[in-house]
Amino acid sequence: MSEPHIETPQEMDAANARRVDLPIPTGKGGSTPAGAGDPNVLLEVDHVTLRFGGVVALNDVSFSLRKGEIFGLIGPNGAGKTTCFNATTGVYRPTSGTIRFKGEPLVGKKKHEITRAGIARTFQNVRLFPEMTALENVMVGMDAHHKTSVIGALFRLPRHLREERTGRERSMELLRFVGIDKRAGEVSRNLSYGEQRRLEIARALATSPTLLCLDEPAAGFNPAEKEELLQLIRKIRDTGVTVLLIEHDMRLVMGVTDRIVVLEFGKKIAEGTPAEVRDNPAVIAAYLGVPTDAA
Ligand SMILES: Nc1ncnc2c1ncn2[C@@H]1O[C@H](COP(=O)(O)OP(=O)(O)OP(=O)(O)O)[C@@H](O)[C@H]1O
């Protein structure tokens, strides 16, 4: 199949070389994100604060994602993960601070502009078109990049027909990629929960993202499904797509991510490899709900 997004081998090599060469950024709060201005950095969250009235959901948070990595965003309930995710995907505007994607500020961009720039997401709760088939749901995602006008679609002009045909073929390839191509013609409400979650990922991939943001993709999965999801996330990364993952299942997060940022009460309390984060006393304390010095 043609993969969701393929970077050149040179780009992948550069990303891999960086992964080895760069010191792992650790530490707290709003230090300048590692790799600011670096071409191998895909997304930079730079001193972002986001308030909802009196609630400080994000408090001077900084971190950066490198091209080609799987990056985890974790923290106890209410830590600010979803808020951070929503700011990254253009749903929320930070109160202060900047988010840059491929070096360009995201703040102020409309959602469709963010999609076109190369960011796609899935949601905590499945959000499909229930009466459309699995294939049609993916084709809707594909429309983000189509160039024909409404007139072209209405009059079935050749360019529109061509785009529809390639869109259909690519959507089938994506269904195959996530492992549900046999269900292509089924209306999505008839798919199992696990199939629906895969379909959401296929639809997000249909926009040919550079960055795929997955919001609790394993919620409601049994251990076997979680293992399959882990394989799928790796497969997506192997096509060159960078992955940002919010997930409560620690086994999955620790098993699949290259690096992790931990939030607590809107603040970044740790950043590093899964092993570094797992052994960090502040993280242990945050999850167990005890003061750092008592952990
Ligand atoms: N739209 C909103 N209006 C007001 N407060 C909000 C809003 N969204 C989130 N908050 C608050 O911001 C804080 C961070 O919430 P957020 O949902 O980002 O945390 P989370 O880490 O994703 O939590 P969970 O793991 O439970 O989903 C919480 O105190 C929450 O109550």
Residue 152 CB less than 6 A away from ligand 1 = no
Q: Please tell me which residue, 89 or 175, carries the higher pLDDT value.
A: 175
Q: Can you tell me which atom of ligand 1 is nearest the CA of 92?
A: 1
* E strand or H helix at 98: strand 96-101
This model of the complex carries an ipTM of: 0.96
Residue 76 CB less than 6 A away from ligand 1 = no
Q: How far is the CA of 52 from the centre of ligand 1 (A)?
A: 9
Q: Does CATH place domain 9-118+209-294 in 3.40.50.300?
A: yes
Q: Which residues is 44 bridged to in the sheet?
A: 64, 100
* Residue 246 reports pLDDT greater than 80: yes
Residue 80 CB less than 6 A away from ligand 1 = yes
Q: Which of left, alpha, beta for 58 (phi over 0: left; psi -120 to 50: alpha)?
A: beta
Q: How far is the CA of 95 from the centre of ligand 1 (A)?
A: 15
Are the CB atoms for 72 and 242 separated by under 8 Å?
A: no
pLDDT in tens, 71-85: 999 999 899 999 998
Measure the CA–CA gap between 198 and 12, rounded to whole angstroms. 25
Are the CB atoms for 121 and 43 separated by under 8 Å?
A: no
- DSSP H helices, the chain, are 9-21, 81-88, 111-117, 134-142, 150-154, 158-178, 193-205, 223-238, 250-256, 274-278, 281-288
Q: For the chain, what are the domain ranges?
A: 9-118+209-294, 134-208
Cα 214 to Cα 71, 126, 164: the distances in Å are 10, 12, 27
pLDDT of residue 155: 59
Measure the CA–CA gap between 60 and 289, rounded to whole angstroms. 22
Are the CB atoms for 52 and 291 separated by under 8 Å?
A: no
pTM recorded for the entire structure:
0.81
Residue 54 CB less than 6 A away from ligand 1 = no
Q: Can you tell me which atom of ligand 1 is nearest the CA of 83?
A: 18
pLDDT in tens, 178-212: 999 999 999 999 999 999 999 999 999 999 999 99
Atom 2 of ligand 1: nearest residue by CA position? 52
pLDDT in tens, 122-170: 887 778 888 899 999 999 877 655 555 555 555 566 666 677 778 888 9
